[in-house]
């Protein structure tokens, strides 16, 4: 079994100048392709169950699916709760076999966010698993705007919560379909100068690939969350499979044809985070 905690994959990444892909899962087809991609690239992978995933599949089922994939994987696999909003939800993920809890209190006042995140970190560490927190709200493409992380608040948050990784807001947005966003590297530099823990970028699909490579190699950013671009790859593969034969109705046969395209897309994501920086 190669089931791992978040710390077990991020600390080596921090030391080695790489980053780990946190890949957003929606079902069996994509999570299986993600593990295959990680094995092909000989790199760890973080399987993430976010809010939309949990609306579709209960946490206890997701925990079993993640752990089943990890049992036969040749690389470390993290079972990660993404954007847990309540203590109860985080507790359910822990009880369901997850090895990493991400508590999102970023919309709340700083002191409340610190207190609530610290409680989740304590819960996680008591069970020998990891905790990620978020300081500075990361918004959504076409929706709520991001609120940039204040470096001094980030230092306070890291110290007082005891989290193993810290998600920051530095120009990134969720659900961005193009790669024209770019990140504020001056703000990233100020944040990493104020704290020593691994940093996380949510909304990584909107970050240009060259910037992902550069920051993975030369900053404390050790985890990029990638969802939208892989969902786009799945959607295109599914449309192609359905349209190839309008009379076909067996969904197992149709869904099988999404595997290779999603694996290829995930391999490109993973490879970029483990590539030498050319600058």
Q: State the pLDDT at residue 145.
A: 64
Q: State the pLDDT at residue 73.
A: 97
Question: What are the catalytic residues?
Answer: 82
For the ranges 12-16, 109-113, 137-141, 198-202, the lowest mean pLDDT is seen at 137-141
Query: How far, in Å, CA of 16 to CA of 55, rounded?
Result: 36
pLDDT at 264 exceeding the cut of 70: yes
To which CATH superfamily is domain 3-272 assigned? Aldolase class I (3.20.20.70)
pLDDT at 113 exceeding the cut of 80: yes
pLDDT at 35 exceeding the cut of 60: yes
Q: State the pLDDT at residue 180.
A: 61
Stated pTM of the model = 0.94
> Of all residues in the chain, what percent carry a pLDDT higher than 70?
92
- Cα 204 to Cα 13, 76, 146, 188, 221, distances in angstroms: 17, 21, 14, 14, 11
What per-residue string of b and e applies to 24-43 under the rule 16 or more CB within 10 Å gives b?
A: bbbeebbbbbbbbbbbbbeb
Query: How far, in Å, CA of 215 to CA of 236, rounded?
Result: 29
pLDDT at 275 exceeding the cut of 90: no
**27 compared with 172, residue with greater pLDDT:** 27
pLDDT in tens, 59-110: 999 999 999 999 999 999 999 999 999 999 999 999 999 999 999 999 999 9
Query: How far, in Å, CA of 136 to CA of 97, rounded?
Result: 28
pLDDT in tens, 69-80: 999 999 999 999
Secondary structure, 3-state, the chain:
CCEECHHHHHHHHHHHCCCEEEEEECCHHHHHHHHHHHHHHCCCEEEEECHHHHHHCCHHHHHHHHHHHHHHCCCCEEEEEEEECCHHHHHHHHHCCCCEEEECCCCCCHHHHHHHHHHHHHHHHHCCCEEEEEECCCCECCCCCCCCCCHHHHHHHHHHHCCCEEEECCCCCECCCCCCCCCCHHHHHHHHHHCCCCEEECCHHHCCHHHHHHHHHHCCEEEEEECHHHHHHHHHHHHHHHHHCCCCCCHHHHHHCCHHHHHHHHHHHHHHCCCCCCC
Query: How far, in Å, CA of 129 to CA of 125, rounded?
Result: 5
pLDDT at 278 exceeding the cut of 60: no
Query: How far, in Å, CA of 37 to CA of 11, rounded?
Result: 21
> Over the chain, what is the mean pLDDT?
92
pLDDT at 147 exceeding the cut of 80: no
pLDDT in tens, 171-210: 776 555 555 667 889 999 999 999 999 999 998 888 989 9
What radius of gyration, in Å, describes the C-alpha atoms of the chain? Answer: 18
pLDDT at 146 exceeding the cut of 80: no
pLDDT in tens, 200-221: 999 888 898 999 999 999 999 9
pLDDT at 279 exceeding the cut of 60: no
- Cα 77 to Cα 119, 140, 214, 215, distances in angstroms: 25, 27, 24, 22
Q: State the pLDDT at residue 175.
A: 55
**140 compared with 249, residue with greater pLDDT:** 249
């Amino acid at each position: 079994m190669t089931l791992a905690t978040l710390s077990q994959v991020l600390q080596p990444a921090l030391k080695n100048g790489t980053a780990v892909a946190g890949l957003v899962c929606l079902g069996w087809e994509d999570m299986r392709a993600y593990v295959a991609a990680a094995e092909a690239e000989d790199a760890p992978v973080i399987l993430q169950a976010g809010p939309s995933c949990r609306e579709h599949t209960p946490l206890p089922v997701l925990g079993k699916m993640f752990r089943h994939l990890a049992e036969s994987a040749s690389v470390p696999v993290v079972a990660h709760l993404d954007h847990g909003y309540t203590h109860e939800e985080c507790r359910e993920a822990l009880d369901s076999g997850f090895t990493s809890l991400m508590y999102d209190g970023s919309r709340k006042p700083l002191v409340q966010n610190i207190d609530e995140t610290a409680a989740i970190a304590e819960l996680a560490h008591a069970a020998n698993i990891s905790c990620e927190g978020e300081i500075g709200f990361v918004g959504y493409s076409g929706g709520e705007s991001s609120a940039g992380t204040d470096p001094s608040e980030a230092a306070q948050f890291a110290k007082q919560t005891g989290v193993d990784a810290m998600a920051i807001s530095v120009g990134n947005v969720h659900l961005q379909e193009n790669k024209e966003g770019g990140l504020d590297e001056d703000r990233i530099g100020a944040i990493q100068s104020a704290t020593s823990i691994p940093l996380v970028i949510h909304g990584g699909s909107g970050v240009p690939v060259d910037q992902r490579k550069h920051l993975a190699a030369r900053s404390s950013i050790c985890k990029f969350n990638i969802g939208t671009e892989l969902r786009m790859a799945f959607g295109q593969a599914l449309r192609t499979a359905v349209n190839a034969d309008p009379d076909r109705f067996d969904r197992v046969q149709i869904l099988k044809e999404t595997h290779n395209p999603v694996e290829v897309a995930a391999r490109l994501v993973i490879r970029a985070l483990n590539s030498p920086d050319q600058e």
